[in-house]
Amino acid sequence: MKTQLYIVCSFFILLIFCPELRGQEVYSMDDLLFSRSENTNALDPAIGLNEKINLKPVGLLEKLEFRTNSDEWDLERQQYTLRLSPNDFKSPKTIRAIQDLQLRSLEFIGSGREDEILFSRYQIISDYYFAVEELKIREKENTLLADEKTVLEYKAESEADVDIDGLLDNRLEKEKNDIRIESLKRKQALAISTLRGTEEASGVLDVSNLITIEKIRRRVTSWADGIIQGYDLDRQSLEIEERMLEVQKEKEVGRKIIDFVQLRYRGDNDLNIGREISFGVGLNIPVPSSNSRRKNEALIDLEQEKMQHQQIKQEQQKEVLSILAELEESFFEFDSYNAILSKDLFSNSLKAMQVDGPGDIKASLSIQLAENRLKKEILDLQEDILNGYLDLAFKKGLIYQRPKFNFIDNSLAY
């Protein structure tokens, strides 16, 4: 009884002080997509507003001046001047609208930066998933190559038939495979450490619920004729809105009729000159041609922004059509290659073989290697489709919809 208790206690002590014995921590896709790391700001938005800025309203007065000085004709006589310069009636509203729009633009830039960060996280998760899947294929290929090597060496010893080319090809493929396997393991570790925002690469990512090709196909079909939005296009719309306000502001310049209101007081002096109070008003007389140059410049800027908006829209439409065409081609190849697998051509060929010697064994291994490499080509097509799907969602401004949801989670309803 004491021995059993000692063993149980020792086991729990090992679990506490040796975390590697507890197993690796498993992260969900949502954990690493939407979490903010406390250890680093590497994946946090670099642009945007850290806190809400409240703009103050524009007051009625543009300037308030108070001056005191000696009379220019009598140094002993003091005079006091109060001058009020009112704001015009329309420009303050337009200027405030421009300021509000500039604030919205800053917030929009921060939002766009978050879009880019989230898109990069999706890409990293995609890289991780396909590294895991390719690793399985590569390890299976290594097993088949090891069996093939055994057969070639057996033939060389028993039949004195040394296949030098076969042995060299086998060795080369094995070494290339080993290098790729090591690269895939590093890729997985780098993905985890990057998503977690730490240098530590512990834990694994649960990608078992990654979106299927069929669901991607349905979504791509539903998006084909949809409205193109996207960050660049929306940002340009804000630029156009700002230029329109600039034009309005320039049109309102020169409409300010009352320039200033002034009240002046002069005290008395020893020469029996009495106190004086004077009132003055400065007026502006609007001229239709005033500020014409700046108005024209503002109008030209507005037209340039509209042209830029149209150009961005056309470029995005072109990019979306290109992505859709590439996806269509990838879907066709994916279906065609899967059709080959579904016909069981490889397994039927193996069943039909009469394995009588090393040569037949080598032939069966060649068939299995060919099947394994076809699976690798299918996996590459699957990766192309997922990345094209993410590119399409990003270009159409769909990847960072609010509220947040996992775009590559297969459990989504549509």
Q: What pLDDT, in 10s, does the model give residues 86-140? A: 776 556 677 777 777 777 776 666 666 777 788 888 999 999 999 999 999 999 9
Amino acid at 177: N
Which pLDDT value is given to residue 203?
A: 78
- Classified by CATH at the fold level, domain 23-54+88-253+291-395 comes out as Outer membrane efflux proteins (OEP) (1.20.1600)
Tokens 């090709």, residue located: 213
Asked if residues 313 and 233 have their Cβ atoms less than 8 Å apart, the reply is: yes
Tokens 């040569």, residue located: 359
Which pLDDT value is given to residue 230?
A: 62
Q: What is the pLDDT of residues 303-346, one digit of tens each?
A: 777 777 777 777 778 888 889 999 999 999 999 999 888 776 66
Which pLDDT value is given to residue 57?
A: 62
Q: What is the pLDDT of residues 216-271, one digit of tens each?
A: 999 888 887 665 566 566 666 777 777 777 777 666 665 667 777 888 877 766 55
Mean pLDDT for 17-31 is 63
Rounded Cα gap, residues 369 and 350, in angstroms: 12
Cβ burial, residue 210 (10 Å; 0-12/13-18/19+): buried
Which pLDDT value is given to residue 200?
A: 67
Residue 11 clears pLDDT 50, i.e. is over it: no
Helix (H) or strand (E) holding 85: strand 78-86
Which pLDDT value is given to residue 76?
A: 64
Q: Would you tell me how many other CB atoms lie within 10 Å of the CB of residue 27?
A: 18
Q: Which two tokens stand for residue 264?
A: 């002046």
Contacts of 364 (CB under 8 A, 6+ apart): 350, 353, 355
Mean pLDDT for 151-157 is 78
Residue 33 clears pLDDT 70, i.e. is over it: yes
Which parts of 209-291 fold into alpha helices (H)? Answer: 213-223, 231-252
Residue 347 clears pLDDT 70, i.e. is over it: no
Which pLDDT value is given to residue 48?
A: 40
The band of 274, judged by pLDDT with boundaries at 50, 70 and 90, is low
Asked if residues 210 and 129 have their Cβ atoms less than 8 Å apart, the reply is: yes
Asked if residues 80 and 66 have their Cβ atoms less than 8 Å apart, the reply is: yes
Q: Which two tokens stand for residue 263?
A: 């009240």
End-to-end CA distance of the chain: 59
Rounded Cα gap, residues 366 and 358, in angstroms: 12
Mean pLDDT for 133-154 is 89
Which of 188-197, 282-291, 380-389 comes out lowest in average pLDDT? 282-291
- Percent of the chain topping pLDDT 90: 18
Which pLDDT value is given to residue 13?
A: 40
Which pLDDT value is given to residue 80?
A: 81
- The better pLDDT of the pair 20, 182 is held by 182
- The better pLDDT of the pair 407, 373 is held by 373
